[in-house]
Chain A
Amino acid sequence: MQETSGQSRWHALTPWLFMLPAMLLFAVYVIIPIFQSIWISFFDWDGIGDKVFIGFGNYAELLEDPQFWTSLWNNVLWLIFYMLAVPIGLGVALFLNQQVLGIRAVKSLFFFPFVISQVIVGVVFSWFYDPSSGLLQDIIGVFGFEPLPILASESMATYGIIAAGLWPQIAYTMILYLTGLNNLSPDQIEAARMDGAHGWSMLWKVIIPQLRPATFIAVVVTVIGALRSFDLVATMTGGGPYGSTSVLAFFMYEQSIFSYRMGYGAAIATVLFLLMLLYIAFFLWRMLRAERG
């Protein structure tokens, strides 16, 4: 009797023991820094001098800082246009999901941009866009257009960066959908075919609903990717021209690392954190509701 209860206590404890190292690391490197960061956002601090408590001063300043609103708006643009990766990735996956000789090699080529580092993607696209010698200018030159200084124009630069970001992101969503397509239930497709579904109706009513888990992951990673976009902005424009392509993550980096304003940077980080929290809460809520049926 006693032995069993001891054993069941062990059973209850074991998972926690296994999780302990991960939880410790997660607490030290993620949870605690989040609260530290929020705490720092209430101070005026250059990183080495004295901290001066200013309450919500940093947040009040954010509201009247045009650079904050530009960055926030650019994050919204990223959220909207980065989403294109989901349908395009699905399209590419459907296209590549066939049994042809050498299709594996083709698939890996399509997957290639996701493997290379974002920084490299940024550099490649900067050269591609270069107004004096870039490939893009040669292409539009064929149609008689003047060179387009995409990254130097405040109206085009953000879209130029998002386009560069879509390249690897499409590869990512494509891979998610390809694995999803492998797991389709053949019976359902067979049954649907017997009932006379093909083409669009097959896609919309049979295939895509079965791809729900893949879509879910694709949307989540794309939204998070859009909110944390940083590498491309840093390598392609450095937030320029004159801050017009900055996003919140880059704005935070610039303020804390280059302008030595840790408190202000922490305030930006907190805003970004709240945005992500809002979105994640919404998604968890939807997911739980869907699971309950």
Chain B
Amino acid sequence: MKLKTLLTASAIGALLMSQASAGTLVINSNQSDPAPKAAWGEIIADFEAANPDIEVRMNEYDHEGYKSAIRNWLVTSPPDIVFWFAGNRMKYFVDRGLLEPVTDVWSDNNMSANFRSTRASMTVDGEQYGVPATYYQWGIYYNADIFNELGLSEPQTWDEFMTVNQTLKDSGYTPITIGTKFLWTAAGWFDYLNLRTNGLDFHIDLMDGKIPYTDDRVRATFENWRQLIDGGYFLENHASYSWQEAQAPLLNGEAGMYLMGNFLTPSFPEGSNFDFFQFPQIDPNVGMYEDAPTDTVHIPARASNKEDAKRFLAYVAQTDVQTKLNLGLNQLPPNASAEAGDNTFLQQGLDMLSAADGTAQFYDRDTDPAMAAEGMKGFQEFMVNPDRLDAILTNLERVRQRVFR
């Protein structure tokens, strides 16, 4: 019944599409927040001006709804361009034959040189499957007024970081704000602690389900985390707050630091004194790896207008377009020749990521969705009840064995 409806719908859709002139390019976008919407609107207007034979039809979806809706279009009647995420999220669709390889777009436009940092996350079995449009850094944003008042400087090692935490706490501040109500903020801490404790290769193996969660090296990560919990450095009752609600203590001057993505920075009021530092080093023998989630554009395997779609992908990859787009998004251009916006956070992020030994996407983009859901619950539970670590890891290991069998 359902299949029949879907087939009819897609047949009608295909009919409509073939009726439209060959120059119509249908784009489904999840960039519906005001700033991204405006930034992409400009890019698309420019693209239409540069390619008068192509008419773009843009469909916008809210960010969360998009994640489940895309699964329906990709198997039925997809648009010509979809927005998505690099790494494992992309690979999931590639493995099911739902995305078109665009290796020719990469080679024709000399992209391998300009997109060296994100190339691996766009490649499956030697073929590229999309074009990175934008990415952003993660790191610790802090209230520089409080740091100055207490004579603190940006910590570079774990010991310095612990001293900063203790000083803030002794002076009556909440050292670290966090809101774990929607779980993923805790995953940011796990990512960084694990990357700094065990390195990127180990992290990716863990994300791919090749290493048990009960492994001693995973426990070492949690032991470092536990130092922060036992010190009482995290915001109290953090499970009550969303990430937006947890900004309040930082902006009010009650909390010192916040591990977050660069999308936090528009919240800083005009004239306030906030700054950024890289997540401190834990083990000097481990490289400095970063989380840098990348947003991408792809062509579905069943798209009807692949020719124009490839022109659009090539356009998005252009250096000047990457500069303009990311100025509007307040994020970083994956194209190394493009320029980042002229604000301290973007510049520091750019420097940090260009010097990074390697990047991960983010916990819930790097591992299987079912594993991510359970994993993030476990991280939140650990942050509230660190004594339950054994039970949490045993449960995660059970989930890992099921998900990656």
List residues of chain A with CB under 8 Å of any chain B CB: 28, 32, 36, 47-49, 61, 64, 66, 129-132, 147, 149, 151-152, 154, 237-238, 240-243, 254-255, 257-261
- Given A152-B181, A241-B381, A259-B370, 6 other A-B residues pairs in contact with their CB atoms under 8 A: A32-B1, A48-B74, A149-B236, A152-B237, A240-B377, A241-B380
Q: Choose among B1, B248, B370 the residue that contacts A260 (Cβ–Cβ < 8 A).
A: B370
Residue in chain B with minimal CB distance to A131: B237
Report the interface size for chain B: residues with CB under 8 A from the other chain.
29
The residues in B between 208 and 264 inclusive whose CB is less than 8 angstroms from any CB of A are 236-240, 248
The reply to whether the CB of B133 lies closer than 8 angstroms to some CB of chain A is no
Residue in chain B with minimal CB distance to A47: B71
Establish whether residues A66 and B395, one from each chain, have CB atoms under 8 Å apart when the complex forms.
yes
Residue in chain A with minimal CB distance to B182: A238
The reply to whether the CB of B26 lies closer than 8 angstroms to some CB of chain A is no
Residue in chain B with minimal CB distance to A129: B240
Residue in chain B with minimal CB distance to A149: B237
* Interchain Cβ contacts under 8 Å between A and B, 25 examples: A28-B1, A32-B1, A47-B71, A48-B74, A48-B96, A129-B240, A131-B240, A132-B240, A149-B236, A149-B239, A151-B239, A152-B181, A152-B237, A152-B238, A152-B240, A154-B384, A240-B181, A240-B377, A241-B380, A241-B381, A242-B381, A243-B377, A258-B373, A259-B373, A260-B369
- Whether A240 touches B402, Cβ cut-off 8 Å, given contacts A66-B395, A260-B369, is no
Scoring B75, B239, B240, B248 by chain A CB atoms within 10 A of each residue's CB, the highest score goes to: B240
Main secondary structure of the interface of A (DSSP, over half): loop
Chain A proximity mask over B69-103: 1 for CB below 8 Å, otherwise 0: 00100110000000000000000000010100000
User: Which residues from chain B contact A257 at a C-beta distance below 8 Å?
Assistant: 68
User: Which residues from chain A contact B333 at a C-beta distance below 8 Å?
Assistant: none
The 4 A-B residue pairs with the shortest CB-CB distance, nearest first, are: A152-B239, A242-B381, A149-B237, A259-B370
The residues in B between 38 and 63 inclusive whose CB is less than 8 angstroms from any CB of A are none
How long is the Cα–Cα vector from A155 to B75 in the complex, in angstroms? 43
How long is the Cα–Cα vector from A47 to B384 in the complex, in angstroms? 34
The reply to whether the CB of B303 lies closer than 8 angstroms to some CB of chain A is no
User: Which residues from chain B contact A132 at a C-beta distance below 8 Å?
Assistant: 237, 240, 248
Establish whether residues B369 and A240, one from each chain, have CB atoms under 8 Å apart when the complex forms.
no
Residue in chain A with minimal CB distance to B254: A132
Residue in chain B with minimal CB distance to A150: B240
User: Which residues from chain A contact B1 at a C-beta distance below 8 Å?
Assistant: 28, 32, 36
User: Which residues from chain B contact A131 at a C-beta distance below 8 Å?
Assistant: 237, 240
Chain A proximity mask over B170-201: 1 for CB below 8 Å, otherwise 0: 00000000001111000000000000000000
The residues in B between 362 and 405 inclusive whose CB is less than 8 angstroms from any CB of A are 369-370, 373, 377-378, 380-381, 384, 395, 398, 402
User: Which residues from chain B contact A36 at a C-beta distance below 8 Å?
Assistant: 1-2
How long is the Cα–Cα vector from A47 to B70 in the complex, in angstroms? 12
User: Which residues from chain B contact A241 at a C-beta distance below 8 Å?
Assistant: 180, 239, 380-381, 384
Establish whether residues B237 and A240, one from each chain, have CB atoms under 8 Å apart when the complex forms.
no
- Whether A240 touches B248, Cβ cut-off 8 Å, given contacts A152-B240, A258-B369, A261-B370, is no
Residue in chain B with minimal CB distance to A130: B240
Establish whether residues B381 and A48, one from each chain, have CB atoms under 8 Å apart when the complex forms.
no
- What's the minimum C-beta distance from A45 to chain B, rounded to whole angstroms? 12
Residue in chain A with minimal CB distance to B183: A240
How long is the Cα–Cα vector from A130 to B74 in the complex, in angstroms? 41
Scoring B180, B370, B378 by chain A CB atoms within 10 A of each residue's CB, the highest score goes to: B370
- What's the minimum C-beta distance from B30 to chain A, rounded to whole angstroms? 16
Residue in chain A with minimal CB distance to B96: A49
